[in-house]
Amino acid sequence: MKKYIYSWCLLGAIVYSCKTQQSTSASASASSTDLTKSEMLKKGEDLFNLRCGRCHDLPAPSQFTAADWEPIMARMAPKAKLSADETNWVSAYVNANAKK
Ligand code: HEC
């Protein structure tokens, strides 16, 4: 009987620790994953207008197809010193408005 109670306590402890782990990891990544698609596009647009017209005229997203933008963003994101999240947002913005 003692063993039975002990194993339930153990099980409870395991379940509890899993739960707390889940909640902490969820809140840690909330800043990037909890954004809605339109919030991401808005952030991408703002960053694009702010950071991508410094060295040359601001390009229009519709000047290039999404396939063209991929290598361009890979070259320009480090130039504009975008973080990984910011690069994703700007890419989402240009892709959403790219030449079809
Ligand atoms: C530090 C300066 C600098 C910043 C900031 C910068 N660029 Fe550029 N960009 C360049 C230079 C230099 C070139 C021309 C050489 C090249 O294509 O790599 C260029 C070229 C381009 C081209 C033309 C590419 C082609 O193949 O015709 C596009 C489009 C472009 N940049 C978009 C962007 C976007 C979007 C951002 C913001 C994420 C950005 N740039 C930020 C320096 C910069």
CA distance 28 to 22: 10
Which protein residues touch ligand 1 with a CB less than 6 Å away? Answer: 51-52, 54-56, 59, 72, 75-77, 79-80, 82, 90
What's the pLDDT at 34? 80
| pLDDT tens for each residue of 21-36 | 444 444 444 455 689 9
The residue whose CA has the least distance to atom 10 of ligand 1 is: 55
The residue whose CA has the least distance to atom 23 of ligand 1 is: 72
Burial 57-70 (b: 16+ CB within 10 A, else e): eeeebeebeeeebe
- Tens-binned pLDDT, residue by residue, of the chain (100 aa): 666 655 554 555 544 555 544 444 444 444 556 899 999 999 999 999 999 999 999 999 999 999 999 999 999 999 999 999 999 999 999 999 999 9
CA distance 23 to 30: 10
